[in-house]
Amino acid sequence: MLKRVALYKAAFFLFIKKHFMQIEVTIPSSLKEVSLKDYQKFLLIENPNKDDLLKCILNINTKELGKIKDKDVDYLTTHIDKLFNQDHKFIPTFTLDGTLYGFIPNLDEITYGENKDITSYINEWGNMHKAMAVLFRPIKQKQGSKYLIHEYEGSHKYSEVMKKMPLSVVLGAMVFFYNLTNALLKSMPNYLDSQLKTEQMREVVSQENGEVIQNYILLLKATLQDLKKLQNFHYINV
């Protein structure tokens, strides 16, 4: 029988501890309580199943899982499924180990290196912590809702730290980046068409430049498809 034993009053976390048979399981009440690392561990398993999902999300082993009542396993599976089957809102800032991290405040000012690394990492869950290390960095100055983050020095500087970031922040950033890429992909052909109507622009956009633009559009399409796949693959249907 499920029994609530404690509620932790914390600013960002709410843990509900419940007893299953002779073991104690901490059930996440939201994806803020699930780390990117734990979810990556699940996705890196070859042909993962319901048992793998529960062990990774709840941080228990096979022996402990086997002691849980069958009806309680069904409850846990349904509960975790509900956590993923909801709208993932964009969360621009979060605190980890006492440090406040912020999303790139102005994507119009993104550098070539940042953009290159994001598109390289964000389409694979195994590299998601590296992608998040590009998108999020420590805030060095903040006033109200506005803030400045540290300059980008490569994803390696914060990639290990990002493995501990809340999964809710990761999914929110992915949805945001997915929508942004989708909007850019839809608007780019119309923009190029309007610009190429002038003789001057036709002269500027040489065959070489045209190939660069075409390659960028193909990259956007590939990134969009990869993000869509990642967005849909959040749990195992059982």
Q: What is the pLDDT of residue 230?
A: 55
Residue 237 lies in a domain: no
Residue 198 lies in a domain: yes
pLDDT of residue 228: 60
Please give the tally of structural domains in the chain: 2
pLDDT of 124 reads 86
For residues 122 and 51, membership in a common domain is answered with no
Q: Give the pLDDT score at 188.
A: 60
Residues 74 and 118 in one domain: no
| Residue range(s) defining the domain that contains residue 15 | 4-84
pLDDT tens for the chain, 238 residues long, are 333 323 232 322 333 344 444 577 889 999 999 999 999 999 888 888 889 999 999 999 999 999 998 989 999 999 998 898 888 899 999 999 999 999 999 888 889 899 889 888 988 889 999 999 999 999 999 999 899 999 999 999 999 999 999 999 999 998 888 788 777 767 766 655 555 555 544 544 444 445 545 555 565 566 556 656 655 555 434 3
Residue 226: predicted pLDDT: 60
Which of 54, 84, 114 is at the close of a domain? 84
Distance CA(141)–CA(36), nearest Å, equals 26
Mark whether 125 and 51 lie in a shared domain.
no
Domain membership flag for residue 124: yes
Specify the pLDDT at position 103: 96
Q: Which of 55, 84, 113 is the last residue of a domain?
A: 84
pLDDT for 222: 63
> Are residues 126 and 228 part of one domain?
yes
Q: Are residues 108 and 185 in the same domain?
A: yes
Indicate if 148 and 185 belong to the same structural domain. Answer: yes
The reply to whether 33 and 55 lie within a common domain is yes
Shared domain for 56 and 101, answered yes or no, is no
Tell me the pTM: 0.74
